Amino acid sequence: MKVLIIGNGGREHAIAWKLKQSTMVSKIYCAPGNGGTASICENIAFNNIEELAQFALNEGIDLTVVGPEVYLAQGTVDLFQSKGLKVYGPTQAAARLESSKVFAKDFMKKYQIPSAAYETFSDANAAKDYIKAMGAPIVVKADGLAAGKGVVVAFDLDTAFKAVDEIMTERVFGDAGVKVVVEEFLEGEEASLLAFCDGVKAVPMLPAQDHKRIGDNDTGPNTGGMGTYAPTSAVTEEILIQINERILTPTIKAMQAEGTPFVGTLFLGLMLTKNGPKVIEYNVRFGDPETQVVLPLLESDLAQIFLDAVNGNLQPDKIKWQTGKTAVCVVAASGGYPGRYETGKVITGLDKLNNSLVFHAGTKVKDGVLLTAGGRVLNIVNVGQNVAEAIDNVYQDLPQVKFDGVYYRKDIAKRELQRYQALMEK
């Protein structure tokens, strides 16, 4: 079958790489794709989603997979469905779980899904008054989509006030900052859980842990994600049962009750608190870079899973994972990211990697030369027999990756390594 993937990041490269392994798939198009997808897909330039839908009709595309949240929020799934095309992803209405923090928080409150206490504001001064009354630490979130950067965890009042000003007054995230959500600060360890959903049921993937901050030891500003690993032992079997019973299943049932059944990948950003797991945020698509560590551990045919989900017939017992292995991903970023950075830097050394997979994010090929084209440039991923092996292998390969200004964190999966070493010492 022919598959169209919409997106141009490391997530889309990982999806394409996994679909390429399916005996069901004969051809993959990626729109617009990147320098990595160009080697396994046919990259397609386009101007709008209407043009893409027409392309899908003309080419007889059997399945479209929508990667980035912005396309889901625009109603790409609705458009494709209206033309009789099969598409994996939630409708525009269901995508509000991510496209509006206000909607998501009100939804969780209505259906008693555990999350942080909150208030919503459309007036900056009112938001500041509330922050002053509540005190720090406190969390300020832009209501709309902000490419993973619209959340500020403020440990003092000045930082919180500045966040309100930047989001609501200066509009650094545009219309995403018309409203803000001010939330209780949750203490605990973060984890990510993705799930395949068919509108009626959800099948969880392996739990992962992201590293959002730019600097080692979780310092500096938030990014789209500097690295991740899966599975994380922070999510025990007991905690996974709690997540299923208190969050995942109730969310899918509640979306049905709202008349907007959720089909696609639901991403739960979680805080593992002393009172149990709580939702930090919903995402309505594969995470990036979580996808890059979860899919290499998937044994089953991804194309079949996508089709089963779209057809409302997910079969949990047929979704299998590699056992006993750990995948670690480290992001190689442009110097200056997540602030200002330069592009067009020549990338070399990828042919010298010994053990690791490479999923391209911000890259392009020009005149046969691979160049940087974004903040997060490459995802270097290693699958090891354990977390120690995966970390050793990925950090042995990373020095081979060269471009002017290359930067990466040196401590990805450090917490998991500490837990593994403690277990080995017992």
pLDDT for the residue numbered 222: 85
pLDDT (tens, 9 = 90+) of the chain, 426 residues, equals: 999 999 999 999 999 999 999 999 999 999 999 999 999 999 999 999 999 999 999 999 999 999 999 999 999 999 999 999 999 999 999 999 999 999 999 999 999 999 999 999 999 999 999 999 999 999 999 999 887 678 889 999 999 999 999 999 999 999 889 999 999 999 999 999 999 999 999 999 999 999 999 999 999 988 999 999 999 999 999 999 999 999 999 999 999 999 999 999 999 999 999 999 999 999 999 999 999 999 999 999 999 999 999 999 999 999 999 999 999 999 999 999 999 999 999 999 999 999 899 999 999 999 999 999 999 999 999 999 999 999 999 999 999 999 999 999 999 999 999 999 998 887
pLDDT for the residue numbered 147: 73
Q: Which of 408, 409, 413 is nearest to 388 (CA)?
A: 413
What CATH fold (topology level) applies to the domain 111-116+196-426?
Answer: D-amino Acid Aminotransferase; Chain A, domain 1 (3.30.470)
Provide the residue ranges of all domains of the chain, joining segments of one domain with +: 2-91, 111-116+196-426, 117-184
CATH number of 117-184: 3.30.1490.20
Distance CA 399, CA 173 (A): 34
Which runs of E-coded beta strand occur in 309-390?
326-333, 357-360, 363-366, 369-372, 376-384
Give pTM, 2 decimals: 0.95
Distance CA 251, CA 197 (A): 11
SS3 labels along 266-292: EEEEEEEECCEEEEEEEECCCCCCCHH
pLDDT for the residue numbered 325: 97
Residue ranges in 40-156 assigned as alpha helix (H): 49-59, 69-73, 76-82, 96-99, 101-110, 124-134
In order, the DSSP letters of 222-240 are E-S-SEEEES-TTS-HHHH
Preceding omega of 137 cis (within 30 degrees of 0): yes
- Side by side, which strands form the sheet with 42-43? 42-43, 27-32, 2-7, 63-66, 87-88
pLDDT for the residue numbered 237: 96
CATH architecture type of domain 2-91 = 3-Layer(aba) Sandwich (3.40)
Q: Which residues pair with 180 in a beta bridge?
A: 121, 142
| Token code pair at residue 60 | 């007889």
pLDDT for the residue numbered 221: 86
pLDDT for the residue numbered 158: 95
pLDDT tens per residue, range 371-402 = 999 999 999 999 999 999 999 999 999 999 99
SS3 of the chain: helix, strand, coil, percent, to 5: 35, 30, 35
Q: Which of 246, 251, 356 is nearest to 293 (CA)?
A: 356
Distance CA 374, CA 344 (A): 9
pLDDT for the residue numbered 288: 95
pLDDT for the residue numbered 269: 96
pLDDT for the residue numbered 236: 96
pLDDT for the residue numbered 176: 87
Q: Which of 196, 270, 232, 210 is nearest to 387 (CA)?
A: 232
pLDDT for the residue numbered 252: 98
* Contact yes or no for 135/157 (Cβ under 8 A): yes
Provide the pairing of β-strand 376-384 with 369-372: unpaired
